């Protein structure tokens, strides 16, 4: 561990805590579970950390993980070998979902179904028994993000579009406001937001129209989360930006030294990981 002090510039209300970890390679994804924080890097290393005392509890070096979700008390991991592994929180594999043909890049829980998106350009819908109920096609490139909003599932893709799916798996709209790969999605203040490789964040209304374009990043917008009534975005420019409900950038946080890849909110804290092989834990300062 190394003690952190606030950065010399940026948003002084968000402070890094002592949870600062260095992984073997770029941090691909993070996931919080009761008492634990999981991290996966690009050297096929999955690590489980105690979220309280920050000790590493286990290390698995068997497969490359690109996304994780917790569902019914189990850890689901989307992997580069096209499989979704199902583990207990005691590190025991209890199942595997097989159906994708390439890397599983993102997952989403909606009710009693798991949605997964892959580099094979498809979205698959799974039940709690691991049976694939449906395959949604239509994107021309990799699926990069999934999110639920207003009774629909939205999928982002490297083909530059966002598709809107109804509960029975029909594509009811294709959102085409982005000129380059759409990298991430978030729902904030009742609106859908999308981040793309062109360094912008777009805000979409209920009629799937772009109503605002947020500028500020100088690199691809790779991840977004909502934390304490603000939208936070991470980018290839190494910065975290904090956006208000008025779509104003109210803070820029400098700490990572390379592209930020992933963000996760867990137990009142914001976790970030990036190509600099580092995980930071951030908390809102009491003012």
- Structural contact between residues 252 and 240, judged by C-beta atoms closer than 8 angstroms: yes
- Looking at every residue in the chain, the average pLDDT score rounds to 91
Q: Which residues pair with 39 in a beta bridge?
A: 30, 47
- As a whole number of angstroms, the distance between CA 258 and CA 100 comes to 31
DSSP classification of residue 82: S
- As a whole number of angstroms, the distance between CA 285 and CA 270 comes to 12
- Structural contact between residues 254 and 239, judged by C-beta atoms closer than 8 angstroms: yes
Residue with tokens 């689901």: 76
Which is it for the CA torsion 173, 178, 179, 182, positive or negative? negative
pLDDT in tens, 23-61: 778 999 999 998 899 999 988 899 999 988 878 899 999
Q: What percent of the chain has pLDDT over 90?
A: 80
What's this model's pTM, rounded to 2 decimal places?
0.92
Give counts: helices (H), strands (E), the chain. Answer: 0, 28
Residue 10 has pLDDT above 70, yes or no: no
Q: What percent of the chain has pLDDT over 70?
A: 91
**Residues 32-69, buried b or exposed e (16+ Cβ, 10 A)?**
bbeebbbbbbbebbbbbbebeeeeeeeebeeebbbbbb
Residue 203 has pLDDT above 80, yes or no: yes
pLDDT in tens, 44-53: 899 999 988 8
Instruction: Give the residue-averaged pLDDT of 205-209.
Output: 95
Res 53: pLDDT? 80
- Structural contact between residues 217 and 233, judged by C-beta atoms closer than 8 angstroms: yes
């Amino acid at each position: 561990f190394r003690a952190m002090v606030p950065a010399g510039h940026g948003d002084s209300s968000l402070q890094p805590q002592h949870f600062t970890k260095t992984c073997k390679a770029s941090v691909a994804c993070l996931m919080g579970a009761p008492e634990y924080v999981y991290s996966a890097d690009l050297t096929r290393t999955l690590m489980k950390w105690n979220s309280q005392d920050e000790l590493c509890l286990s290390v698995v070096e068997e497969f490359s993980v690109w996304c994780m979700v917790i569902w019914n008390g189990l850890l689901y991991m989307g992997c580069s070998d096209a499989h979704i592994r199902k583990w207990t929180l005691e590190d025991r594999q209890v199942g595997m979902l097989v159906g994708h043909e390439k890397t599983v890049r993102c997952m989403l829980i909606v009710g009693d179904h798991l949605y997964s998106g892959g580099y094979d350009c498809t979205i698959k819908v799974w039940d709690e028994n691991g049976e694939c109920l449906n395959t949604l096609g239509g994107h021309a490139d990799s699926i990069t993000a999934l999110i639920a909003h207003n009774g629909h599932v939205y999928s982002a893709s490297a083909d530059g579009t966002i598709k809107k799916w109804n509960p029975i798996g029909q594509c009811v709209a294709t959102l085409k406001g982005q000129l380059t790969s759409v990298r991430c999605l978030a729902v904030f203040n009742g609106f859908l937001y999308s981040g793309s490789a062109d360094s912008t964040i777009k805000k979409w209304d209920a009629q799937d129209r772009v109503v605002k374009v947020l500028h500020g990043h100088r690199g691809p917008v790779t991840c977004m989360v909502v934390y304490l009534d603000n939208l936070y975005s991470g980018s290839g420019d190494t910065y975290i930006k904090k956006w208000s409900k008025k779509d104003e950038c109210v803070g820029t946080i400098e700490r990572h030294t390379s592209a930020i890849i992933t963000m996760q909110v867990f137990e009142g804290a914001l976790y970030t990981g990036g190509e600099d092989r580092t995980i930071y834990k951030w908390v809102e300062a009491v003012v």
